[in-house]
């Protein structure tokens, strides 16, 4: 890969749409909640002829609106029509997105996306003082929660419409409910929501998001997703960042260029994206996983791979990120690649991931000291699981890697 090869510019909406798919997993599997909410928003926006300048903000916010939620438990709470304490995830989402200039306009929309029309909100807002995109997302979000039922959605759509109407002027903006009544008569809305063709439908409906992300912004967006992934469990706190920083340190020492190191950093931030699909009780289990639990864990790199493959220009990043549990001897997962298939970048990521996991505290043990890390890694080299040369580079730079663990920032990534 030549150094001049840049990550192509990507539309922000497309990047968020791919990455947010990982947030759409709950106990029942992939629910596509964010995509469905964005789709309902597009129907409402079309009907009210929303100012075209607000469309990118609406769609980008809708596709990531529950960024403040990462555990299955929190997601389950939000699946009740009348949620108990939605403010927490609104605030956390706002906090997270405010860190990134390109996502800052979305942060405000997300802060108010559960605000009731009649007030009683912790935000202090009510009625038309609540930003319009937030009001649209709130309505779309609650419609989607009601729409998760088995059977033909056209048979029960009237129940959904009735429930929304009962809350006109209390939970919801009455004018928006009026608009919803109009669009809800279209079978296509309901069929789009439940169709296997939803992806292409979304692509067609949400083509008005020309906000382009630069390389630096892609790193910023990836950092936010790293935080969402890591907040799933207190034991993985900063894991994605540590892997990213360790992997780019090793890449630099292995002769990668500055630009390649940045790609490695993005790959590290996103390597465990698929962990958002794994129940917390498995991630946090104190002790060894049984066979069934391990089989659940094995989904995560497959999901990372599938999601990153949706992003144009991420082909190399995807290989580096998603192959981190593959082994040179072909006994890794999920693709059972071998040394012949695994590039230096993928080998670096595997070593960075193992190093990070060993030095971090886990529910069943404290972070390990250097001599134990060395012992374990040497054994893995001997069994042809990981690359001895990369381990050598790590050992030569062990102090720097330890400093990263202690939270040293990587300058070019900020
Ligand atoms: Fe929400
Ligand atoms: Fe939601
Ligand atoms: Fe992993």
Bridge partners, 362 (sequence order): 365
Distance from Cα 341 to the centre of ligand 2, integer Å: 40
Q: In the chain, what are the domain boundaries?
A: 32-205, 214-413
Fold match flag (32-205 vs 214-413) = yes
Distance from Cα 126 to the centre of ligand 3, integer Å: 43
Q: What is the pLDDT of residues 240-289, one digit of tens each?
A: 999 999 999 999 999 999 999 999 999 999 999 999 999 999 988 888 89
Q: pLDDT band for 5, please (50, 70, 90 cuts).
A: low
Q: pLDDT band for 410, please (50, 70, 90 cuts).
A: very low
Does residue 124 have a pLDDT over 80?
yes
Q: What is the pLDDT of residues 322-338, one digit of tens each?
A: 999 999 999 999 999 99
**Which ligand lies nearest to the CA atom of residue 23 in the structure?**
2
| Cα dihedral 139/145/150/154 (nearest 10) | 0
Distance from Cα 236 to the centre of ligand 1, integer Å: 24
Q: pLDDT band for 43, please (50, 70, 90 cuts).
A: very high
Distance from Cα 23 to the centre of ligand 2, integer Å: 10
Arithmetic mean of pLDDT over the chain: 91
The CATH architecture annotation of domain 214-413 reads: Orthogonal Bundle (1.10)
Q: Are 136 and 39 in contact (CB under 8 A)?
A: no
Q: What is the pLDDT of residues 338-370, one digit of tens each?
A: 999 999 999 999 999 999 999 998 877 889 999
Does residue 94 have a pLDDT over 50?
yes
**Which ligand lies nearest to the CA atom of residue 86 in the structure?**
1
**Which ligand lies nearest to the CA atom of residue 62 in the structure?**
2
Q: Across the chain, how many H-helices and E-strands are there?
A: 22, 4
Average pLDDT over residues 33-44: 96
Q: Are 44 and 93 in contact (CB under 8 A)?
A: no
Distance from Cα 374 to the centre of ligand 2, integer Å: 45
Lookup: tokens for 62: 């809708």
**CA 82 to mean position of chain CA atoms:** 25
CATH class of 32-205: mainly alpha
Predicted pLDDT at 131: 97
Helix (H) or strand (E) holding 306: helix 299-308
Q: What is the pLDDT of residues 52-91, one digit of tens each?
A: 889 989 999 999 999 999 888 888 889 888 888 899 999 9
């Amino acid at each position: 890969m030549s150094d001049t090869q840049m990550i192509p510019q990507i539309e922000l909406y497309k990047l968020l749409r791919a990455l947010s798919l990982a947030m759409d997993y709950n106990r029942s599997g992939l629910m596509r909640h964010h995509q469905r909410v964005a789709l309902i928003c597009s129907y409402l926006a079309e009907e009210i002829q929303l100012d075209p300048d607000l469309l990118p903000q609406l769609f980008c916010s809708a596709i990531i609106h529950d960024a403040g939620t990462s555990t299955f438990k929190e997601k389950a709470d939000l699946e009740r029509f009348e949620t108990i304490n939605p403010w927490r995830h609104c605030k956390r989402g706002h906090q997270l997105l405010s860190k990134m200039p390109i996502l800052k306009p979305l942060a405000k929309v997300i802060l108010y996306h559960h605000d009731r029309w009649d007030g009683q909100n912790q935000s202090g807002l009510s009625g038309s003082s609540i930003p319009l995109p937030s009001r649209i997302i709130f309505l779309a979000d609650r419609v989607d929660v009601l729409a998760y039922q088995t059977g033909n959605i056209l048979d029960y759509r009237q129940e959904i419409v009735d429930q929304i109407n009962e809350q006109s002027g209390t939970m919801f903006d009455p004018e928006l409910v009026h608009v919803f009544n109009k669009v809800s008569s279209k079978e296509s809305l309901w069929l789009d929501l439940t169709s296997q063709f939803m992806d292409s439908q979304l692509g067609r409906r949400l083509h008005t998001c020309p906000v382009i992300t630069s390389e630096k912004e892609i790193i910023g967006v990836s950092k936010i997703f790293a935080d969402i992934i890591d907040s799933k469990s207190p034991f993985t706190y900063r894991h994605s960042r540590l892997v990213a920083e360790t992997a780019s340190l090793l890449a630099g020492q292995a002769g990668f260029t500055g630009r390649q190191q940045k790609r490695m950093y993005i790959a590290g931030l996103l390597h465990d994206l698929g962990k958002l699909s794994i129940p917390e009780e498995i991630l946090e289990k104190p002790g060894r996983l049984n066979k069934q639990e391990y089989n659940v864990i094995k989904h995560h790199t497959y999901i990372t791979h599938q999601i990153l493959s949706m992003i144009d220009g991420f082909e190399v990043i995807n290989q580096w990120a998603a192959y981190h549990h593959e082994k040179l001897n072909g006994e890794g997962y999920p693709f059972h690649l071998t040394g012949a298939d695994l590039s230096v970048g993928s080998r670096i990521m595997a070593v960075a991931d193992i190093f990070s996991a060993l030095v971090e505290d886990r529910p069943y043990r404290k972070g390990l000291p250097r001599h134990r890390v060395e012992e374990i890694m040497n054994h893995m080299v001997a069994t042809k699981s990981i690359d001895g040369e990369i381990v050598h580079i790590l050992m030569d730079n062990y102090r720097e890697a330890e400093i990263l663990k202690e939270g040293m920032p990587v300058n070019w990534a900020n």
